[in-house]
């Protein structure tokens, strides 16, 4: 890991080590990938003010998320099939996050189950919920998360139906992976990956394993989701979920001011401004373009988290400056996991924390609470975002 100096290095290493179908599953976005690209491009366009001769000898990246102390304003995002980037990937990533002092979120569509992860780590983690048509099953997932002492429930609201990802179809991705002529050489040249997945606790979706019974032949993710996820999910169901969940509720996948206003009235503890990493509505604005208007509309009514395109500490600074209290990392940590398992995730987190620390020093800031729109160099972005078209970024 010594020569790994940035997230891009981890991405390249992951591409060498993870079979193509799973690497591209993580890398890709929906349809023409316009929103996927916009997430990165719009972040890169935001320039930071270089400030000098400020005493920055005492700095800290520590802050809180939902009242809990964290070493930096970051949590690991829910990632489906995490355990296909590396065997037991969810456990490895959770351990790395907890050692780094930040929250880990387990996806409904994970390989290791809620109980597998709870048995393997010693602190609580967050659980992300997708709501199925079978509400009894959704309820049982919430109860299992509560029994495992998960410390927050992340309800994902932007995937009632699945945006098509061309790459997954072209790669013929299946879960569990099947060795066929087309992928034989690919898998044969990734022995460390194959061994880790073979040795891993599970080869298919751990949380829904019992529920999948009789459906093993439906092996593509999109077919399964189309059949099971509930397209009728509405704001009324948020009340129902809140009534079942005793702890903190986070609504993930808000990318519109009107939706953000409704979300703030649900009693949820936080929202995540997100477009699912460019994997759902292609043509949606980047999430960083929507962050300032949403932050302006909500003020301090509800905690605002952000994701989409975070690949560095500088990106964390940009998002915090534009109104997020904290961010989620998706692909950045997944590249680390594919590149080097738990050590790779640890490296990804070290890289981003160190970058944030240096970025704070060079912008003349000593605490996370001191980051505001004043650190943004471009005047348009510093203006109140309310009513501004997203393109001002």
Active-site residues: which are they? 276
* Beta strands 63-65 and 68-70, pairing class: antiparallel
* Beta strands 63-65 and 126-129, pairing class: unpaired
Residue 300 CB, nearest approach to ligand FMN (Å): 24
**Interface segment toward ligand FMN; rule CB under 6 A; list 12-20, 167-175, 302-310, 342-350:** 302-310
Residue 278 or 390: the one with the smaller Cβ distance to ligand FMN is: 278
Secondary structure of the chain in HEC code, one letter for each residue = CCCCCCHHHHHHHHHHHCCHHHHHHHHCCCCCCHHHHHHHHHHHHCCECCCCCCCCCCCCCCEEECCEEECCCEEECCCCCHHHCCCCHHHHHHHHHHHHCCCEEECCCCCCCHHHHHHHCCCCCEEEECCECCHHHHHHHHHHHHHCCCCEEEEECCCCCCCCCHHHHHHCCCCCCCCCHHHHHHHHCCHHHHHHHHHCCCCCCCCCCCCCCCCCCCCCHHHHHHHHECCCCCHHHHHHHHHHCCCEEEEEEECCHHHHHHHHCCCCCEEEECCHHHCCCCCCCCHHHHHHHHHHHHCCCCEEEECCCCCCHHHHHHHHHCCCCEEEECHHHHHHHHHHHHHHHHHHHHHHHHHHHHHHHHCCCCCHHHCCHHHECCHHHHCCCCCCCHHHC
**Interface segment toward ligand FMN; rule CB under 6 A; list 219-227, 271-279, 354-362, 371-379:** 271-279
**Positions 361 through 390 that interact with ligand FMN (CB under 6 A):** none
Residue 315 or 382: the one with the smaller Cβ distance to ligand FMN is: 315
With 0-12 / 13-18 / 19 or more C-beta atoms within 10 angstroms meaning exposed / middle / buried, residue 383 is: middle
Residue 85 CB, nearest approach to ligand FMN (Å): 8
73 near ligand FMN (CB under 6 A): no
Binding map of ligand FMN across residues 29-48, x = CB under 6 A, - = no contact? ----------x---------
156 near ligand FMN (CB under 6 A): yes
Of 35, 61, 63, 128, the one binding ligand FMN by CB under 6 A: 128
Residue 15 and residue 306: Cα distance in Å, rounded? 26
Residue 279 and residue 78: Cα distance in Å, rounded? 13
Residue with tokens 């073979």: 198
Residue 93 CB, nearest approach to ligand FMN (Å): 12
Residue 156 or 314: the one with the smaller Cβ distance to ligand FMN is: 156
Binding map of ligand FMN across residues 194-233, x = CB under 6 A, - = no contact? ----------------------------------------
Of 95, 165, 276, 318, the one binding ligand FMN by CB under 6 A: 276
* CB contact at 8 A, 166 and 33: no
330 near ligand FMN (CB under 6 A): yes
Strand pairing partners for 16?
none
Q: How many residues bind ligand FMN (CB under 6 A)?
A: 25
Residue 109 or 153: the one with the smaller Cβ distance to ligand FMN is: 109
Residue 50 CB, nearest approach to ligand FMN (Å): 26
Question: For ligand FMN, which residue has the nearest CB?
Answer: 330
263 near ligand FMN (CB under 6 A): no
Q: Residue 30 corresponds to which tokens in the numbers above?
A: 């929906």
**Interface segment toward ligand FMN; rule CB under 6 A; list 191-199, 258-266, 297-305, 328-336:** 328-336
78 near ligand FMN (CB under 6 A): yes
Residue 374 CB, nearest approach to ligand FMN (Å): 25
Q: Residue 209 corresponds to which tokens in the numbers above?
A: 């394993």
Of 206, 277, 292, 323, the one binding ligand FMN by CB under 6 A: 277
Residue 278 CB, nearest approach to ligand FMN (Å): 7
**Interface segment toward ligand FMN; rule CB under 6 A; list 169-177, 325-333, 358-366, 372-380:** 325-333
312 near ligand FMN (CB under 6 A): no
Residue 77 CB, nearest approach to ligand FMN (Å): 3
List residues near ligand FMN by CB under 6 A.
25-26, 39, 77-80, 107, 109, 128, 156, 252, 274, 276-277, 279, 307-310, 328-332
């Amino acid at each position: 890991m010594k020569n790994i100096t940035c997230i891009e290095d981890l991405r390249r290493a992951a591409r060498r080590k993870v079979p193509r179908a799973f690497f591209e599953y993580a890398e890709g976005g929906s349809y023409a990938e316009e929103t996927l690209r916009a997430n990165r491009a719009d972040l890169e366009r935001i320039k930071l003010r270089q400030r000098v001769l400020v005493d920055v000898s005492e700095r800290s990246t520590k802050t809180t998320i939902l009242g809990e102390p964290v070493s930096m304003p970051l949590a690991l995002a829910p990632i489906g099939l995490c355990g296909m980037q590396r065997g037991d990937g969810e456990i490895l990533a959770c351990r790395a996050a907890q050692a780094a002092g930040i929250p880990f979120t387990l996806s409904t569509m994970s390989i290791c189950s809620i109980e597998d992860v709870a048995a393997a780590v010693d602190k609580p983690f967050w659980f992300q919920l997708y709501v199925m048509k079978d509400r009894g099953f959704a309820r049982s997932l919430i109860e299992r998360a509560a029994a495992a002492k998960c410390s927050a429930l992340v309800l994902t609201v932007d995937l009632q139906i699945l945006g098509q990802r061309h790459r997954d179809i072209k790669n013929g991705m299946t879960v569990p992976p099947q060795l066929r002529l087309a992928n034989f050489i690919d898998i044969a040249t990734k022995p460390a990956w194959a061994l880790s997945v073979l040795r891993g606790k599970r080869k298919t979706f751990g949380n829904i394993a019992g529920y999948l019974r009789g459906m093993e032949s439906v092996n593509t993710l999109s077919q399964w989701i189309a059949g099971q996820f509930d397209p009728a999910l509405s704001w009324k169901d948020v009340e129902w979920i809140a009534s079942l969940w005793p702890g903190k509720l986070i609504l993930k996948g808000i990318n519109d001011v009107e939706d953000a206003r409704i979300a703030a009235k649900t009693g949820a503890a936080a929202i995540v401004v997100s477009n699912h990493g460019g994997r759902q509505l292609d043509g949606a604005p980047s999430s960083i373009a929507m962050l300032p208007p949403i932050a302006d509309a909500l003020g301090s009514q509800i905690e605002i988290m952000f994701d989409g395109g975070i690949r560095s500490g500088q990106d964390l600074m940009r998002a915090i400056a534009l109104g997020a209290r904290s961010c989620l990392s998706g692909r950045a940590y997944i590249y680390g996991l594919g590149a080097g398992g738990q050590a790779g995730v640890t490296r990804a987190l070290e890289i981003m924390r160190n970058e944030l620390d240096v970025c704070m020093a060079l912008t003349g800031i000593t605490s996370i609470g001191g980051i505001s729109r004043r650190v943004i160099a471009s005047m348009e972005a510093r203006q109140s975002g309310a009513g501004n078209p997203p393109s001002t970024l």
